[in-house]
């Protein structure tokens, strides 16, 4: 299974949606609250300051819209190491 890290805040609706989508796939998330400072996140996310910022195996994929797009395109499961059942 992949390592998933997500920079977020407690009240962010997109963060909540991202957590739900990942939880529905059985993925554990290492969540980093940026309520009191976003500098580390922005340095890692090429200057992006919005949340969530999601990293799968240290690859920045962006926010919830990007995560959902990967899921719709069938690319998220392979990134997460999910093997399709037969």
- Contact at 8 Å (CB) between 13 and 64? no
71 within some domain: yes
pLDDT at 46 over 80: yes
* Residue-range definition of the domain harbouring residue 74: 4-80
Predicted pLDDT of residue 86 = 66
How many domains does the chain divide into? 1
Q: Mean pLDDT score of the chain, rounded to an integer?
A: 93
Q: What is the pTM of this model?
A: 0.91
CATH value at residue 55: 3.40.30.10
Residue 38 or 5, more confident? 5
Is 86 inside a domain boundary? no
Task: Summarize the chain as % helix, strand, coil (round to 5).
Answer: 35, 20, 40
In a domain, 85, yes or no: no
């Amino acid at each position: 299974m992949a390592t998933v890290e997500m920079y977020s805040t407690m009240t962010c609706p997109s963060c909540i949606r991202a957590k739900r989508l990942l939880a529905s796939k059985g993925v554990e998330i290492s969540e980093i609250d940026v309520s009191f400072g976003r500098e580390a996140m922005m340095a890692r996310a090429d200057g992006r300051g919005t949340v969530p910022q999601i990293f799968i195996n240290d690859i920045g994929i962006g926010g919830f819209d990007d995560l959902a797009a990967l899921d719709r395109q069938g690319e998220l499961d392979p990134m997460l190491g999910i093997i399709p059942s037969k």
